[in-house]
Amino acid sequence: MSRSSLENIELVVRTIAQTCLDNEKYFTELDGVVGDGDFGISLASGFGVIAEQWDTLDRSSGENFLVGCAKIISRNIGGTSGSIWRAAFRNAGKSISGKEELTEWWKWYCWRFICYMGRNLFYIIF
């Protein structure tokens, strides 16, 4: 995979991770109203590990990078949220298996996701 395509994927993952870390308290408070109050804590736990292991994640392909993130999520985010996020990252990785360049659609989707994540991460799950 080209460096620019991998950099786009990294930017999406970094944005998701940072949004989860920055909004841990807010997401937990919201979940406390409609659920068991652990959503923000769970996300921050899992994406915090991704942030800690950022430099050691396998970047030999976009697929390996995303599947590596999925494995971390699987081990560190519990409950339904962990399963949903793991599946999302794993399936995203599998969808680009063997591809050298991201399609225009995939690039558009990544950027749209970043814009959406900044405002509405909590509502993606609920």
Domains in the chain: ranges and CATH: 3-125 (1.25.40.340)
- pLDDT confidence bin for 92, thresholds 50/70/90: confident
Average pLDDT rounded to a whole number, residues 46-50: 97
Residue 10 has pLDDT above 50, yes or no: yes
pLDDT at 13: 93
Q: What is the mean pLDDT of the chain?
A: 84
Is residue 21 within 8 Å of residue 13, measured between CB atoms? no
Structure tokens at 13: 């993952």
Average pLDDT rounded to a whole number, residues 19-38: 90
Of the ranges 18-32, 45-59, 63-77, 89-103, which one carries the lowest mean pLDDT score? 89-103
pLDDT at 66: 94
Query: Alpha-carbon distance 99 to 28, whole Å?
Result: 37
Query: Alpha-carbon distance 100 to 35, whole Å?
Result: 42
